[in-house]
């Protein structure tokens, strides 16, 4: 089941350093001039890595081995790879010498990938400026700027963030996995109260960071709202716990390193105010990195790392475990912040939001029936979602993925909003033209009172790239025809036996 989808750069880091209007960043004097030419990009990253790498073990303990943080920079057209070494030197890998694993990872990567070659770990970062420019257009529409400087530093943050996931949060380093329910999907339709409770706690921690003299009151405020959230929404709190731990620590790690290497160019904290007040559930996990920054400032990282590795406690719970909340806490003191959060949430995640409208439209299509499902079942497929996934309260057993992309060796689908059935690994594609079956009528004639029937067919997948539709190739498949309880007809194409 592909419930856990990779985050595209737009969600991971791309919205983090975007500047406010009138705050255009200047060139960092310690770095080469920024240029999208690949050779110049390699030069910039060489100097940036050389200045950042020495801070790895200052940010964490010996589990963060600098020798495992090796960067492979991939050109936009995926024709060139350059290794950036910790000392800042670089070495281009000739395409003729790429291993099978490297070729596979490069071919399917959407923003980053990992490889193990000749006994060494690597993180591949794709300089996909076309994708980043599209993201910049969205930011400009929201009144913010996103420059090439932001792009380059976000790619650097992405390198350290994703490398931390891969090389530190690893069973090899005794990093555990939560035994509790795991779900980082935002609930649709939106419930406002849990978003307000979580962000009130985060605002309090940000205030504690900015003014240590108010730490006691801010910690009490954060503890009150965190406890109310966990009591009021225990299922969501249990489901997001692992994500809180994993994403908050990875974001802390990456930002600590890059900020301390370039303090004038990269903020230490993930933005909590402004735009991000309206972001959804798992964005709050990244924001929770403020708690890890506070733990580091207080000299409590040894204690905290043990709790994180065992998945015992979230960063906020570790930070606040000994904090006492005054009896009869006065919630009215937080009324103005509550209003700000609700307004921001309505703008970003409300029914009229451009981010949520595709979910509402897809749910409506599904409830009306007569849509078609296409199974995405090839191994080693690369999946990503630029806006995340949504659990559907009104349609149990399904979740919706916005701006979904899938890239495999045999086909590629771009920018689709889909429903996925939790029970069948089926992705709902609203346009039936994406799948053409030979003797299609015969297949539909096979539908009977029996819930489903399996027949052998040859299917032709029609990939969508922008406005162009291109037939990739014909595949012999097992096609299962059936209907779900809502009356939707689905076609499950199982490729795994025939590739």
Residues 414, 464 contacting (CB under 8 angstroms): yes
Answer yes or no: do 302 and 384 share one domain.
Answer: no
Phi–psi pair at 434, nearest 5 degrees: -70, -15
Answer yes or no: do 62 and 150 share one domain.
Answer: yes
Domain total of the chain: 3
Going across the sheet that includes 112-117, the strands are 90-93, 81-84, 71-74, 120-126, 112-117
| Higher per-residue pLDDT: 267 or 486 | 267
Answer yes or no: do 223 and 339 share one domain.
Answer: yes
Question: Which helix (H) or strand (E) element contains residue 407?
Answer: strand 398-407
Answer yes or no: do 16 and 161 share one domain.
Answer: yes
Residues 319, 291 contacting (CB under 8 angstroms): yes
Answer yes or no: do 345 and 375 share one domain.
Answer: no
| Higher per-residue pLDDT: 181 or 82 | 82
Answer yes or no: do 159 and 126 share one domain.
Answer: yes
Answer yes or no: do 163 and 241 share one domain.
Answer: no
**Above 70 in pLDDT, residue 335?**
yes
CA 426 to chain centre: 21
Answer yes or no: do 275 and 215 share one domain.
Answer: yes
Mean pLDDT of the chain: 80
- CA gap 254, 233 in Å, rounded: 30
Lowest mean pLDDT, pick from 31-40, 281-290, 351-360: 351-360
For residue 106, being part of any structural domain is answered with: yes
For residue 180, being part of any structural domain is answered with: no
Check residue 358 and give its pLDDT. 86
- 372-394 pLDDT per residue, tens: 666 554 444 555 556 678 888 88
Among the three residues 315, 349, 383, which one is the final residue of a domain in this structure?
Answer: 349
For residue 321, being part of any structural domain is answered with: yes
Residues 199, 223 contacting (CB under 8 angstroms): no
Check residue 177 and give its pLDDT. 79
- 139-152 pLDDT per residue, tens: 777 777 788 999 99
Check residue 493 and give its pLDDT. 52
For residue 179, being part of any structural domain is answered with: no
Answer yes or no: do 383 and 399 share one domain.
Answer: yes
Answer yes or no: do 191 and 340 share one domain.
Answer: yes
Write out the two tokens for 69: 């943080």
Answer yes or no: do 369 and 290 share one domain.
Answer: no
Lowest mean pLDDT, pick from 106-115, 153-162, 448-457: 448-457
Range of the domain at 156: 7-173
For residue 122, being part of any structural domain is answered with: yes
**Above 60 in pLDDT, residue 434?**
no
| Higher per-residue pLDDT: 354 or 47 | 47
**Where does the pLDDT of residue 136 fall: very low under 50, low under 70, confident under 90, or very high at 90 and above?**
confident
Judged on CB neighbours under 10 Å (0-12, 13-18, 19+), 11 is buried
- pTM reported for the whole predicted model: 0.84
Residues 147, 35 contacting (CB under 8 angstroms): no
Degrees to nearest 5, angle at CA 51 with 46 and 55: 130
- CA gap 215, 202 in Å, rounded: 13
Answer yes or no: do 388 and 445 share one domain.
Answer: yes
**Where does the pLDDT of residue 429 fall: very low under 50, low under 70, confident under 90, or very high at 90 and above?**
low
- CA gap 354, 417 in Å, rounded: 13
Lowest mean pLDDT, pick from 8-12, 315-319, 492-496: 8-12
Check residue 490 and give its pLDDT. 59
For residue 178, being part of any structural domain is answered with: no
């Amino acid at each position: 089941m592909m419930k856990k989808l990779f985050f595209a750069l737009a969600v991971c880091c791309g919205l983090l350093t975007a500047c406010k209007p009138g705050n255009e960043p200047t060139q960092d004097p310690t770095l080469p001039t920024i240029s999208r030419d690949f050779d110049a990009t390699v030069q910039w990253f060489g100097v940036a890595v050389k200045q950042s790498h020495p801070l790895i073990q200052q940010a964490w303990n010996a589990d963060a081995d600098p020798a495992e943080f090796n960067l492979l920079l991939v050109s936009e057209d995926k024709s060139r790879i350059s290794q950036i070494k910790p000392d800042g030197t670089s070495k281009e890998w000739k395409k003729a010498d790429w291993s099978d694993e490297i070729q596979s990872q490069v071919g399917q990567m959407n923003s980053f990938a990992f490889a193990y070659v000749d006994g060494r770990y690597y993180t591949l970062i794709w300089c996909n400026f076309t994708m980043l420019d599209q993201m910049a257009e969205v930011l400009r529409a929201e009144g913010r700027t996103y420059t090439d400087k932001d792009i380059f530093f976000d790619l650097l943050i992405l390198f350290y963030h994703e490398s931390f996931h891969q090389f530190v949060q690893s069973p090899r380093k005794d990093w555990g996995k939560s035994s509790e329910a795991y779900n980082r999907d935002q609930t649709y339709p939106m419930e406002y109260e849990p978003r307000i409770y979580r962000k009130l706690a985060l605002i309090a921690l940000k205030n504690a960071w900015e003014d240590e003299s108010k730490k006691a009151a801010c910690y009490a405020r954060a503890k009150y709202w965190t406890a109310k959230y966990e009591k009021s929404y225990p299922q969501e709190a249990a489901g997001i716990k692992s994500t809180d731990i994993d994403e908050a620590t990875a974001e802390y790690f990456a930002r600590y390193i890059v900020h301390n290497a370039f303090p004038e160019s990269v903020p230490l904290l993930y933005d909590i105010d402004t735009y991000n007040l309206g972001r959804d559930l798992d964005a709050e996990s990244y924001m929770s990195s403020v708690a890890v920054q506070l733990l580091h400032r207080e000299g409590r990282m040894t204690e905290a790392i043990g709790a994180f590795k065992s998945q015992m406690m979230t960063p906020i719970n570790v930070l606040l475990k000994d904090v006492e909340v005054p009896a009869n806490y006065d919630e009215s003191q937080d009324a103005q912040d509550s209003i700000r959060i609700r307004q921001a949430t309505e703008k970003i995640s409300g029914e009229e939001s451009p981010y949520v409208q595709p979910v509402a439209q897809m749910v409506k299509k599904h409830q009306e029936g007569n849509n078609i499902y296409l199974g995405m079942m090839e191994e080693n497929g690369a999946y990503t979602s630029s806006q995340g996934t949504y659990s559907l309260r009104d349609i149990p057993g399904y979740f919706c993925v916005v701006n979904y992309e899938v890239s495999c060796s045999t086909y590629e689908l771009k920018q689709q909003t889909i429903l996925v059935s939790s029970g069948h690994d089926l992705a709902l594609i609203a346009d039936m033209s994406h799948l053409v079956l030979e003797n299609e009528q015969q297949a539909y004639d096979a539908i009977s009172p029996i819930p489903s029937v399996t027949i052998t067919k040859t299917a032709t997948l029609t990939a969508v790239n922008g406005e162009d539709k291109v037939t990739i190739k014909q595949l012999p498949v097992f096609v299962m025809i059936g209907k779900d309880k809502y009356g939707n007809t689905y076609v499950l194409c199982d490729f795994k036996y025939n590739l």
